[in-house]
Amino acid sequence: MIEILSVTGPASVQDLGRFDQYRFGVGTSGAMDDVALRAGNLLLGNDENAAGIEIPMLPFRLRFGRDMAFALTGAGVEAEIAGRAIPPWWRLPARAGDMLTLRSMSRGARSYLTVGGGIEVPMVLGSRSTQFRGEFGGWHGRPLQVGDVLPCAASAAAIGELGIEPAEITLARPNAVAGETIVRVVVAGEYDAFDAGTQELFWCGSWKITPQSNRYGYRLQGPAVTPKAPIEKRSHGIVPGVIQIPPNGQPIIQMRDAQTSGGYPKIATVIQADLWRVGQARLGEKLRFEQTAYTDAVAAEAELSAYLDRLRGNLRLLEEIRICR
């Protein structure tokens, strides 16, 4: 078990999400950076869908109730355990009573703590992810609080120290500048309802992530993007990544806790392979949209899968070497 000693902001238990409940109006939830969560679980020999803790704000501190292995992935953080600094994207063993402290983020917006065997909260509708709006899943359906004691599954794996190259380095996008994240998108259903000049504003604009952004959606600030004529639509199905344009012309990117339907016109959709980049973009930073063809979106998904495959293969090889010694 692990005990929460200090928490800032809405830290929560998340796995990869619940994807079979959309027909009932239940959104996916799940890690905003699913690549980081998968990587942390792979480092520990867990199932890739094992639940971990998503930490969006620091400081954060916890105590390990028994010996176990853990990993930190996602945002670059200043972290230490038992007085020792922890490198980013690293796994190592903890002893019962050890305190882990995360002090500050040097880059990114969310850190992920995974533990050997995973956080063992109850499954709800096929997932352990916290659903804030519905107040279910995770730990009592709410953000973590000081004094919470989270159960952890037993893991018999003998884990030594090991680090890997962060996904943001391996999968870096070219031409990005400091404080800006390039996000690939495909055009969506109402794209042609915007004239050529407005479409150009959308592609050329640098979109600031406002403080009103959260796990439900990222509200952006930039040049007003308005359709040629007012659009009134009945609510219809939407998914994480959809970029909607409300009447004020300021885009909203639907994120992992997004509702399952909405009526605002859709100008574009973030490709699946880049959603984790949006999840790691900070408040106040800027996004730039890059128009992408469907074939390129599929290729980007293959590139992401190849990164994870290399990680799986390298970790298997290292474990085999360790066992043979």
100-127 confidence digits (pLDDT tens): 999 999 999 999 999 999 999 999 999 9
Q: Give the pLDDT confidence score for residue 234 in this predicted structure.
A: 84
What integer is the mean pLDDT of 177-190?
92
What integer is the mean pLDDT of 178-187?
93
pLDDT surpasses 90 at 252: yes
CA geometry: angle at 237 spanning 235 and 238, to 5°? 110
Are 9 and 221 in contact by the 8 Å Cβ rule? The answer is no
Distance between CA 225 and CA 247 in Å, rounded? 9
Q: Give the pLDDT confidence score for residue 176 in this predicted structure.
A: 77
Phi/psi class of residue 171: alpha, beta or left (left: φ > 0; alpha: ψ in -120 to 50)? Answer: alpha
Q: Give the pLDDT confidence score for residue 157 in this predicted structure.
A: 64
Q: Are strands 236-237 and 217-221 parallel, antiparallel or unpaired?
A: unpaired
Distance between CA 109 and CA 267 in Å, rounded? 26
| Domains with residue ranges and CATH for the chain | 2-165 (no CATH), 180-292 (2.40.100.10)
Sign, Cα dihedral of 212, 243, 23, 304: negative
pLDDT surpasses 90 at 320: no
All residues at 6 or more sequence positions from 172 whose CB lies less than 8 Å from its CB, including other chains: none
pLDDT surpasses 80 at 321: no
Q: Give the pLDDT confidence score for residue 289 in this predicted structure.
A: 97
Q: Among 170-174, 274-278, 300-304, name the one with the lowest average pLDDT.
A: 170-174
pLDDT band at 173 (very low <50, low <70, confident <90, very high): confident
* Burial call 34-50: b when 16+ CB within 10 Å, e when fewer: bbbbbbbbbbbbbeebb
Q: Give the pLDDT confidence score for residue 325 in this predicted structure.
A: 61
* Burial call 108-139: b when 16+ CB within 10 Å, e when fewer: bbbbbbbbbbbbbbeebeebbbbbbeeebbbb
pLDDT surpasses 80 at 156: no
pLDDT band at 172 (very low <50, low <70, confident <90, very high): confident
Q: Which residue carries 């885009």 as its tokens?
A: 251
pLDDT surpasses 80 at 96: yes
pLDDT surpasses 70 at 62: yes
Both structure tokens of 317: 């090889």
What integer is the mean pLDDT of 307-313?
93
Helices 34-44 and 294-324, axial angle in degrees (round to 10): 20
Q: Give the pLDDT confidence score for residue 159 in this predicted structure.
A: 73
> How far is C-alpha 261 from the geometric centre of its chain's CA atoms?
21
pLDDT band at 50 (very low <50, low <70, confident <90, very high): very high
Q: Which amino acid is at 298?
A: V
Write out the DSSP string of 93-162. Answer: EE-TT-EEEEEEEEEEEEEEEEETT-B-PPPBTTB---BTTTTBSTBTTB---TT-EE-B---------E
Are 189 and 297 in contact by the 8 Å Cβ rule? The answer is no
Q: State the first-to-last Cα distance of the chain, in angstroms, to the nearest integer.
A: 31
Q: Give the pLDDT confidence score for residue 146 in this predicted structure.
A: 98
What integer is the mean pLDDT of 192-206?
95
Sign, Cα dihedral of 272, 274, 276, 282: negative
Half-sphere exposure of 292 (CA within 13 A, CB side): 23
Distance between CA 315 and CA 46 in Å, rounded? 12
Are 233 and 263 in contact by the 8 Å Cβ rule? The answer is yes
